[in-house]
Structure 1
Amino acid sequence: MKVKVRYFARFRSLVGTGEEELEVPDGIKVRELIDIIKERHPILKNEVFAEDDDLADVNVSRNGRYVSFDEVLNDGDTIALFPPVSGG
């Protein structure tokens, strides 16, 4: 199945693109998609996901709605990755 991945803010700069389409296995979860993205873009593994399971530094939306890392994806989904918002 295919999913569209959109990168925002720092992720866009690190990856060098705002969007890409990925072919992924059926029934994949958000967490597994992030693993695929880290392998595809090792700079994310080094700069953002320094720890093996450090997902605290990413927010994920699926088709415009925040989701958990255990949510199962469907063909045609649009996934957006962006850093947590901070400020005072």
Structure 2
Amino acid sequence: MRVTVRYFARYRSLVGKGEEEIEIPEGTTVRELIEMLKERHPVLRNEVFAEEDDLADVNVSRNGRYVRFDEVLRDGDIVAIFPPVSGG
């Protein structure tokens, strides 16, 4: 199955593109997708996910709504990856 991954802010700069389609196996979770992205783009592993399970520095939405890392993705999903929002 295929999902579209959209990168925002710092992640877009690090990866060098705003969007890509990725083939993933049925039953893939958001956490597993992030692991695949770290393999596909080592800069994410080195710059963003330096620790073993450092997901505090990433927000993920699926089809426009925030999701948990254990949610299973479906064919055609649009997954957005972006840093935590801060400010005032």
What are structure 1's unaligned runs of at least 5 residues? none
Q: Name the structure 1 match of 2:59.
A: 59
Moved >3 Å (runs of 4+): none
1:79 aligns with 2:79: yes
TM-score (norm 2): 0.98
- The reply to whether residue 24 of structure 1 matches residue 24 of structure 2 is yes
- 2:77 & 2:33 partners in 1: Cα distance? 12
- RMSD over aligned CA atoms reads 0.5
Q: Deviations over 1:2-39 (max 9, x none)?
A: 00000000000000000000000001000000000000
Corresponding residue pairs, total:
88
- The AA in structure 2 aligned to 1:52 is E
Structure 2: runs of 5+ lacking an equivalent: none
